[in-house]
Amino acid sequence: MNSRRGLVAVIGCGLIGESWAGLMTAYGHDVLAWDPSHKALDGFVKRVGAARAQAREAQPGLEAGEGAVEVVADVADAVRHADWVQENAPESAPLKMELYDRIEAATAATTVIASSTSSLTWSELSPNLRHKNRFITAHPFNPPHLMPLVEIYAHTPEMGAEAARFYQALGRETVLLTRDAAGHIANRLASALWREAVNIVAEGIADVASVDAALVHGPGLRWSVLGAHMAYHLGGGAGGIEHYLRHLGPSQERRWATLGNPRLTPEVCARLVEGVRAEAKGRSIRELEAQRDAALIRVLAARRGGEDAAG
C-alpha cells in the first residue's frame, strides 16, 4: 500500500469507523481497518466507498487523489505502520483501554492514538497508557464524513495543535477543549436541548413533530449560521451581549428555573416513539438518512458561499 498522505488505522468498523474511512480516503489517506467482529466487516469496503463518494460530493474540487482502504485480520497489522490511529470501539472504558494496550505494543511511541469517544473522557481512558501525550480524544459529529465538527481534547498544547492540523486537512472544523468533560461540548448542548424537547412533549405543550419543526425552522436554522452566544449578542440590539445580559439576564435565569426535568418513564417513551413514528410518515431509517445526507450536502455548499457570521 503506497500512502500518499499518511496511513491511518481505523479501529472499529461500525457507523463511525466506516464514515471516518470514507472521509480519510476521500482526502487521499490510505486506511487499514480492523474490527473484531466479522459482521461489522461484512460489506465494510462498499459502505466506505459510499461515504467517500458523499464526502467528495460535499467538498468539490478536492485535489488529493482517493486513498485505498483495506481490512486486516489483526489490530497489530492495522496500526504497525500507521501515522494516525482513529479508534471507534464501543463506549466502554475497559474495552478501549485493553485495545490501547495492544495498539501501544505494536506502534511507535509517536503515533497519535485518537479516540472518537462521545461520552468518555481523556482522563478516564488514559491512565494505563505508556505514552500519554500522544493520546487524544477527537469526537466527530455523526456522520463524520459530512458533519464538519471534530472536538479535540489533548494533554499538551502541541498535541492539540497537531490534531487540529490533521483534522483541518480533512476539511473539518476543529474546536479544542481546555478541560475534558463527558459529552465534550456538542453532546452536552444536544443533551440539554433534548431534555427540554422531551419535557415539552411530556407536559403536553406540543407533539413530537411540532417540537422538531419548531427547532428546524427556528433555532436550528439560526444555529447553522450563528452560535448561541453570538445570537444573544445580536439579540441585544446596538448594546450587544452586554446590554442583553444586563437587561435580559435576569429573565433568562427565571426562564431556566421553569424548564423541565423530565424522566424517561414508559409513558413518556411511548409518546416519543409514537410521535416520531407519526413524524416519519412511513419513511424508513435508510430513507430518512438519505434525505438528511442530501440536505446536509446542500446546506454545506450554501454555507461555503460566504463567511459564517460565527466565523
Q: Which of 53, 189, 202, 267 binds a copy of itself (CB under 8 A)?
A: 189
Other Cβ atoms less than 10 A from the Cβ of 243: the count is 15
Nearest to 135 by CA among 171, 168, 169, 99: 99
Q: 202 to 231, contacts with a copy of itself by CB under 8 A? A: 203-231
Beta bridge partners of 236: none
Q: Which is nearer to a copy of itself, 108 or 295 (CB)?
A: 295
- Lay out the site mask for a copy of itself across 116-135 (x = CB under 8 A, - = otherwise): ---x----------------
Q: 231 to 290, contacts with a copy of itself by CB under 8 A? A: 231-235, 237-238, 240-242, 245, 249-253, 255-256, 258-259, 261, 263-264, 269, 272-273, 275-276, 279-280, 285, 288-289
Q: 14 to 53, contacts with a copy of itself by CB under 8 A? A: 15
Q: How big is the CA angle at 150 (ends 99 and 88), to the nearest 5 degrees?
A: 20
Q: How far is the CB of 137 from a copy of itself (least distance, A)?
A: 13
| Total length of the chain | 311
Nearest to 71 by CA among 12, 119, 125: 12
Q: Compute the CA torsion angle 251, 256, 258, 263 (nearest 10 deg).
A: 170
Q: How far is the CB of 65 from a copy of itself (least distance, A)?
A: 26
Q: Is 154 in the site for a copy of itself (CB under 8 A)?
A: no
Residue 284, φ and ψ in degrees, nearest 5: -75, 165
| Structural Rg of the chain based on CA atoms | 21
Q: Is 95 in the site for a copy of itself (CB under 8 A)?
A: no
Distance, in Å, from the CA atom of 115 to the CA atom of 113, rounded to the nearest integer, reads: 7
Q: Is 55 in the site for a copy of itself (CB under 8 A)?
A: no
Q: Which of these segments, 4-12, 67-75, 162-170, 181-189, binds a copy of itself (CB under 8 A)? A: 181-189
Distance, in Å, from the CA atom of 123 to the CA atom of 250, rounded to the nearest integer, reads: 36
Q: Which of these segments, 26-34, 93-101, 108-116, 180-188, binds a copy of itself (CB under 8 A)? A: 180-188
